Amino acid sequence: MMRDTNINKSRREFLKSSTGVALFIGMSGLLPSIVSCRDSKKIEKTLEKHNITAWVRITEDGDITIYNPAAEMGQGSMTSLPIIFAEEMDAEWSKVKVEFSPQEVEIYGSEGWTPGSKLMFTVGSRITKSNFPLMRQSGAQARHILMYSAAKHWDVPLEELTTDKSVITHPKTKRSIPYGALIPFLKTPKHLPKYSLNELKKTEDFRLIGKEIPRVDIPDKVNGSAKFAGDLRMPDMLYGVLERGNLHGAKPSLENEQEILSIHGVISLLPFNYAIGVIANSLEVALDAKSKLKIKWSETDATNFNSQEIYNSYENIAKDASTGKIIREKGNVNIEQNTNFKTFVSDFKNDYVYHAQMEPLNIVVQVIPNQQRAEVWVGSQQGVDPKLGIPDLLGYPPENINIHLQYLGGGFGRRSMNDFVHEGVLMAKEVGPKPLKLLWTREDDIGYGAFRPLSLQRLKAVTGINGAILSLSHCIIGDGGNLVASGTRNDHYDIPNELVEWRETKHGIRLKHWRAVGHGPNKFAIECMLDEIAADQRIDPISLRKNLMQNSPRALATMKKVEEMSNWTETSSMDRAKGVGFVEHGSLGSGVCEISVNKATGEIKVHHFWVALDAGIIIQPDNVKAQIEGGIIMGMSSVLKEQITIEDGRVVQSNFHDYNLLRIQDIPETIETFLIPSNENPEGVGETATPMVACCIANAFLRLTGKHLRHLPFTPERVLDALNT
């Protein structure tokens, strides 16, 4: 053991009663505590109040409950994090149940964006990576406490004990005891070890990590019992809805307040500076009243903005000689020109896209003013503030705000923005202590959406005498800072001189992280530029990339693998072509797709997708494949179908009849994923596949037709335009 941590004995509590027995093994910051308890109600109550903190609960019959500190939005953290914990605890997986942990960042937070900081925030594909060391350490410590107790119970040295699947064995005396049976003999060690990496399990000894373990949330998701926040019902619960209009930030003036208040069942109206809230005793009455609101809206910064006419002005901004904000600079892109050098310049554009998570935003809140307390049931991707900003909003102490995390019916970045949480809290405060359910309709969710920004990327590459890429300049024009500028790093390509700069525009449209954020538009631009160079030089696009990746063996391995998987060198049939792309987003992924184009209609058909991924140690292989499949499908949807347009500042689309998502008829015949074996630390996989779709399709299109697709989405009209140029 590397270092011991003293246990604060004042934190140790033993609660006893006549019913069930439970063991808590937990950590409060660095101070672990153990609590043996016979009163389950008291445990629940104590846990709820966060007086006891804990990662795992064991009952005498061996049932193990492990707490998941992350949001579950379909990415599988509800299973993958407990698997890591159970691996080091040596727990019998079939006896494991999983619950959401309380939202207490000091206890359950994993390392945040700066070393030593703690964060509970399910964003940026950070969950598996950041929790891997934490779950291993906590799992190993839980095992230590059990072994310590067995050693005392049998009066043998702890070092002589072994564990396997929830059983401790002392081989010398041939004695064994299941974890659960140890509960009456639990002893608190004076010191809790802090394990170094080489004291934890070796990867070759993993028996849960890397194995095919079904996800724990799936049975409830196929029988209809899985609870999303909007599924909750409570006695005396009221309903809240808001009319926000589709001109972002417009101030409302309500012109028929009395008429609305006279509707039977309407309780009250609550004005916001951007919306009118209606509270009613049933959802149907609330929605009916919402539809009858007569609101006059103010004009805003977005007034007069027409998204589809803005690109000319963006091109002019790109032409401006002065440089924007430097995002990254490497070497000097202003290399001296040589007559043998060649310059490539292309513009890539992308329209706004919308999250379209299938569950519209919703929340259930109970504000109890006389206790200065709030209970909040929400599907949230959490936040920098684990209490989601509610303490400040209500002026209540943070410890009185209880966040009960529910399943998320899709996040994709939308549920890391807690505007809907604050709306729900303010409306619930109005009617407290009665609970209130806030629902956004789909029209609210789109019309008052927060989109991936529209942007333009001007890329300029210079190649040298032998065709090598000497410099790459990447100029981004758009609103939203990192929302448009992420995903511009080319760490795995050996390009000596690079400049990434951002030139800001502002349109008054609400913006938000959208799965993979700037990687979508920026990888599209970078990877298409590489193929434009390859086409000009008449060299193979994969060969070009492999040359650039010589100093990045892990990236290179994915490229070589996808070349093999896709039978890249084999020519496609006449009417089909393959295109390639590479994306790094934590994990490294190379993708190839095969497409055909209907030249009469302009429709692109994707037939196959192959992905080779290096994500380090894989916790759940099948789940990673599911993430890649889903990421590709969502990518195809955004690249081929999705478009938010703004006319005179107003969001034009309002529901799924005019905001089209990919449907099952448009899926590829196959999506094949290969996971490169690795003993490196795990990296996120949720956002690596989506950004490779645009470049793979556009590059395949170039090889098939000799034409360029440089504006997302590739609608049939744009495809026909490209074919006719």
Partner 1 sequence: MPLYTLNINNNSFEVEVNKGTSLLWVLREHLGLTGTKYSCGIAQCGSCTIHIDQKPMRACILTVENFAMGQKILTIEGLSEKGEHPVQKAWIKTQAPQCGYCQSGQIMQAVALLKEKPKPSREEIKSYMNGILCRCGTYMRILEAIEIASEENSAIN
Contacting residues toward partner 1, per CB under 8 A: 73-76, 214-215, 217-228, 230-231, 233, 239, 282-285, 356-360, 407-412, 439, 441-443, 622-623, 626-627, 629-634, 637, 655-657, 661-665, 667, 671
Tokens of 174: 């041939």
| Helix and strand element counts for the chain (H, E) | 18, 34
Q: Smallest distance from the beta carbon of 707 to partner 1, in angstroms?
A: 28
Cβ atoms of 200 and 617 within 8 Å: the answer is no
Q: Smallest distance from the beta carbon of 231 to partner 1, in angstroms?
A: 4
Identify the burial level of 149 via C-beta atoms within 10 angstroms of its C-beta, where 0-12 means exposed, 13-18 middle and 19 or more buried. buried
Cβ atoms of 422 and 277 within 8 Å: the answer is no
Q: Which is nearer to partner 1, 71 or 530 (CB)?
A: 71
Q: Smallest distance from the beta carbon of 516 to partner 1, in angstroms?
A: 13
Q: Smallest distance from the beta carbon of 619 to partner 1, in angstroms?
A: 14
CA distances for 239 relative to 267, 366, 378, 394, 559, angstroms: 9, 12, 15, 20, 53
Angle at 233 between CA 232 and CA 236, to 5 degrees: 150
Q: Which is nearer to partner 1, 73 or 270 (CB)?
A: 73
Q: Where are the beta strands (DSSP E) in 206-316?
A: 238-243, 252-254, 266-271, 276-280, 295-297
Tokens 């530029």 locate to: 529
Q: Smallest distance from the beta carbon of 156 to partner 1, in angstroms?
A: 43
Q: Smallest distance from the beta carbon of 269 to partner 1, in angstroms?
A: 20
Q: Smallest distance from the beta carbon of 665 to partner 1, in angstroms?
A: 5
Q: Which is nearer to partner 1, 484 or 693 (CB)?
A: 693
Bridge partners (DSSP) of residue 22 are 37, 59
Q: Smallest distance from the beta carbon of 77 to partner 1, in angstroms?
A: 12
- Sheet with strand 56-59: strands edge to edge: 31-37, 22-28, 56-59, 64-68, 96-100
Q: Which is nearer to partner 1, 67 or 514 (CB)?
A: 514
Q: Smallest distance from the beta carbon of 406 to partner 1, in angstroms?
A: 11
Identify the burial level of 15 via C-beta atoms within 10 angstroms of its C-beta, where 0-12 means exposed, 13-18 middle and 19 or more buried. middle
d(CA 436, CA 445): 19
Cβ atoms of 12 and 34 within 8 Å: the answer is yes
Q: Which is nearer to partner 1, 224 or 395 (CB)?
A: 224
d(CA 395, CA 213): 44
Q: Smallest distance from the beta carbon of 632 to partner 1, in angstroms?
A: 7
Q: Smallest distance from the beta carbon of 7 to partner 1, in angstroms?
A: 40
Q: Which is nearer to partner 1, 485 or 604 (CB)?
A: 604
Q: Smallest distance from the beta carbon of 310 to partner 1, in angstroms?
A: 27
Q: Which is nearer to partner 1, 439 or 549 (CB)?
A: 439
Q: Which is nearer to partner 1, 237 or 459 (CB)?
A: 237
Q: Which is nearer to partner 1, 239 or 448 (CB)?
A: 239
Q: Which is nearer to partner 1, 206 or 228 (CB)?
A: 228
Q: Smallest distance from the beta carbon of 390 to partner 1, in angstroms?
A: 24
Q: Which is nearer to partner 1, 191 or 442 (CB)?
A: 442
AA identity, residue 398 = P
Q: Smallest distance from the beta carbon of 711 to partner 1, in angstroms?
A: 23
Cβ atoms of 348 and 405 within 8 Å: the answer is no
Q: Smallest distance from the beta carbon of 68 to partner 1, in angstroms?
A: 15
Q: Which is nearer to partner 1, 496 or 630 (CB)?
A: 630
Tokens of 386: 């684990």
Peptide bond into 433 cis (omega under 30): yes
Q: Which is nearer to partner 1, 390 or 634 (CB)?
A: 634
Give buried/exposed letters for 638-673 (b at 16+ CB in 10 A, else e): bbbbbbbbbeebbbbbbeeeebbebeeebebeebbb
**Residue of 137, 135, 136, 161 whose CA lies nearest to 147:** 161
Helix (H, G, I), strand (E, B) or coil at 303: coil
Q: Smallest distance from the beta carbon of 573 to partner 1, in angstroms?
A: 20
- The sign of the torsion formed by the CA atoms of 91, 96, 102, 103 equals positive
Give buried/exposed letters for 373-412 (b at 16+ CB in 10 A, else e): bbbbbbbbbbbebbbbbbbebbebeeebbbbbbbbbbbbb
Tokens 């790093």 locate to: 489
Q: Which is nearer to partner 1, 75 or 471 (CB)?
A: 75
Q: Which is nearer to partner 1, 223 or 322 (CB)?
A: 223
Q: Which is nearer to partner 1, 304 or 670 (CB)?
A: 670
All residues at 6 or more sequence positions from 373 whose CB lies less than 8 Å from its CB, including other chains: 367, 396, 400, 401, 402
Q: Which is nearer to partner 1, 479 or 622 (CB)?
A: 622
DSSP string, 336-366: PP-TT-EEEEEEEEE-BB----SS--EEEEE
Q: Smallest distance from the beta carbon of 118 to partner 1, in angstroms?
A: 26
Identify the burial level of 427 via C-beta atoms within 10 angstroms of its C-beta, where 0-12 means exposed, 13-18 middle and 19 or more buried. buried
All residues at 6 or more sequence positions from 474 whose CB lies less than 8 Å from its CB, including other chains: 457, 458, 459, 488, 498, 499, 500, 501, 522, 525, 526
Q: Where are the beta strands (DSSP E) in 251-386?
A: 252-254, 266-271, 276-280, 295-297, 325-330, 342-350, 362-368, 373-378, 382-383
Cβ atoms of 593 and 693 within 8 Å: the answer is yes
